[in-house]
Each structure stands twice: as C-alpha cells, then as structure tokens.
C-alpha cells in the first residue's frame, strides 16, 4: 500500500481544519488535510450568525484584510421569542453566508502552501505508531499516512473520534432551508414542548430558516420548523437539509499522545443555542499555538471548556430562564411586524 509521511494530518477542511492548517503552515510546518467532500462545491449547513467578537477571531487569524472580503452584515434587530411573547433588542450580531466563510478559510490555507486531498477520509487509525489507513473516495484506492500528530476537525460526526474512542459524541438534530429575504431582523424562537429552538437569519440576498432539537427526532424537528414558517408566513422552504450539531455535553480535546480535536469534533458548542463558529476558530487557533510551542492545549482551553460545560449542564435551566424572562418581560409578539422592517 502506498505510504505518505506528514508532520500534521488534519482530518476535515471546514473552519476548524482550515484555520489550524493555515496557522501550522504559516509557521512552516508540514501539513496535509483530508476532506470528505468536494472542496470546491461543499456547502456547510449553517445560519452564519455570530457576534462581532466572534468575527474578530477571524481577524486575529487572517488579519484586518479579511473584513473587506468577508464583509459580514450587521443585523439591526434581534428578536427572542417564546410562546407568543418576544423580547426585541438592538442587535449586537452579524451574519454572513457560511460558504463565503468556509471558502475563504480554505483558500487561505491553500495559499499558505497547505496540501489538500479532497474526497478522501480515514478508515483506520493506529495512534501508537502514528499511521492512518485512508481512502480516496474518487478512485476507491486505499493508502497509508504516517503522521506525528493527527487533528480531528471533521465535525459533529467525527470519524477520528469514533475510530479512536469507539463511539460517537451525543448530537442534536437540525434542519435548515433557504427562504426569501423578508426582513433584516434575526428571530430566535425557543420551542414549546421540546428542548430546542427555531431561527430566521437574514444573510444578504436571502435568509435561512431552521430548527434544532436536543431531545427529539428529525420528524418532530421538521414539524417545529414548519410551524415556525407558518407563524412567519413564509412558504415552507425546499429543499430542507439536515445536519448534526454536538449536544455540547461531551468535550474531547486530546486522545493519547498524538490525537487532538478542534471545533465540532471536539464537541465545542454552546449547548443552549448551537453556536459553534467562534468555538471552532478559537479552538483551532489555540490548538495550532500549542502544537507549535509545546504548551498545553487543554490548559489554554480551560476557561472556554469550563463555561461550555456549565452551559451544557444548565442548558435546560438556561432555556427555562430565558423563556421565563420572555414571558415575564416580553411584549406579546406582534405578528409579522418584522416583515415590514
């Protein structure tokens, strides 16, 4: 079997993988990224909503210039809703199409000289010897990669995590589709009955509508999404795609001596709202830094993982508290006033 040797094998060329790869490559390291999908056409399901602070993480990695290319859209109003009540606030969030973000990060990795093998994945990992058996999904050929370090950046259903630990992390079901742009306000509605939420997020020329459920299946999640569309008087979106997000209660940053995880593969997500873009970029940056200077990744992530663990442990309580605030303080949701904005 053909064998390749690299210092750093990055599995998954999404946000976490591209950012880790970019920073390692910039420091002159030998990096190869494997990506399951076609790098040019892959289009990750995601609302693309983040706080301006999170956007600054990208600036920290790629420099001020990335603002002009990515130009996030500031959202003027943020509505949180529950059971017919809502709290509106002057928004401190921005959105941008996720494909633009992913394409940019991957491009920067490639421009830095990073190697990419797309339509390829790992099949077996021997972490004591540092060898992965990989498959080229275009040709069906298998080959071996010998590595010093392997980085699992392959999302919520991480194959690296499953192959090493023997199990998947706990995930939540999400559905999302593209909708016409009816308003520049973001709406985040907590589900009644199940633990989860629905969202309407403007992205520029269009919007996305979705729902995520921590404790139910795809069919129930679809019902929640359709009910949300009816409430907003939006045609149910077609096609609707589904994806998993980490439940947020099972963080794994390292395994053995050679394996490290970042982003969704590490389980780094805010369990109360499914926000993971900031976690992916920051974990990738801190991981690259630790790998390059030999410091402890777990320690550098400590404050972040502690607060995520608190959030996950109290996700139910947090949501209950927010719902309670909305019910107490919020005005009755004015049906569709957002559409006129």
Ligand X SMILES: Cc1cc2nc3c(=O)[nH]c(=O)nc-3n(C[C@H](O)[C@H](O)[C@H](O)COP(=O)(O)OP(=O)(O)OC[C@H]3O[C@@H](n4cnc5c(N)ncnc54)[C@H](O)[C@@H]3O)c2cc1C
Enumerate binding residues for ligand X (CB under 6 A).
11-17, 34-37, 42, 44-50, 121, 153-155, 159, 174, 176, 210, 243, 245, 263-265, 269, 274-277, 280
Which residues of the chain form beta strands (DSSP E)? 3-11, 31-35, 49-50, 73-82, 85-95, 115-118, 120-126, 131-136, 142-152, 171-180, 186-190, 196-202, 206-213, 241-246, 254-255, 259-261, 331-332
CB nearer to ligand X: give 255 or 328: 255
Q: Which is nearer to ligand X, 158 or 232 (CB)?
A: 158
Query: What's the closest the beta carbon of residue 81 comes to ligand X, in angstroms?
Result: 16
Q: Please, what is the minimum distance in Å from the beta carbon of residue 54 to ligand X?
A: 7
CB atoms within 10 A of CB 188: 20
- Shortest gap between Cβ of 106 and ligand X (angstroms)? 9
For residue 92, the minimal CB distance to ligand X (Å) is 14
Q: Return the ∠ at Cα 196 (arms to 285 and 308), rounded to 5°.
A: 30
CA nearest to 238, candidates 196, 193, 175? 175
Separation CA 281–CA 279 (nearest Å): 6
Choose between 84 and 251: whose C-beta lies nearer to ligand X.
251
Give the list of residues 6+ apart from residue 244 with CB closer than 8 angstroms, or none. 155, 156, 157, 171, 172, 173, 174
Whose Cβ is closer to ligand X: residue 87's or residue 273's? 273
* Closer by beta carbon to ligand X, 37 or else 227: 37
Q: CB of 245: closest distance to ligand X in angstroms?
A: 5
């Amino acid at each position: 079997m053909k064998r390749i040797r690299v210092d750093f094998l990055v599995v998954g060329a999404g946000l976490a993988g591209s950012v880790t790869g970019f920073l390692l490559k910039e420091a002159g390291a030998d990096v190869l990224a494997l990506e399951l999908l076609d790098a040019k056409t892959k289009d990750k399901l995601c609302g693309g909503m983040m706080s301006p602070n999170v956007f600054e993480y990208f600036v920290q990695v790629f420099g001020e210039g990335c603002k002009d290319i990515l130009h996030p859209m500031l959202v003027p109003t943020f509505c949180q809703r529950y059971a017919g009540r809502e709290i509106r606030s002057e928004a401190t969030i921005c959105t941008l199409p996720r494909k633009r973000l992913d394409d940019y990060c991957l491009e920067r990795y490639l421009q830095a000289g990073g190697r990419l093998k797309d339509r390829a994945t790992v099949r077996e990992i021997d972490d004591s010897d540092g060898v992965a058996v990989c498959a080229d999904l275009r040709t069906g050929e298998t080959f071996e990669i010998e590595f010093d370090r392997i980085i699992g950046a392959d999302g919520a259903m991480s194959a690296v995590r499953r192959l090493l630990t023997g199990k998947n992390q706990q995930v939540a079901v999400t559905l999302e589709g593209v909708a016409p742009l009816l308003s520049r306000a973001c709406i985040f509605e907590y589900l009644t009955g199940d633990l989860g939420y629905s969202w309407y997020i403007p992205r520029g020329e269009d919007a996305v509508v979705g729902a995520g459920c921590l404790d139910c299946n795809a069919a129930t999640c679809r019902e929640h999404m359709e009910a949300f569309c009816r409430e907003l008087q939006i045609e149910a979106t077609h096609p609707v795609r589904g994806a998993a997000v980490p439940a947020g209660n099972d963080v794994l940053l390292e395994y053995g001596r050679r394996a490290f995880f970042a982003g969704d593969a590490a389980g780094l997500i805010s369990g109360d709202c499914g926000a993971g873009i900031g976690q992916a970029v920051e974990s990738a940056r801190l991981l690259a830094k630790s790998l390059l200077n030999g410091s402890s990744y777990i320690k550098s992530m400590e404050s972040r993982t502690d607060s995520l663990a608190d959030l996950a442990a109290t996700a139910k309580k947090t949501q209950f508290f927010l719902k309670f605030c909305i019910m107490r303080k919020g005005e009755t949701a004015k049906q569709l006033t957002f559409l006129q904005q």
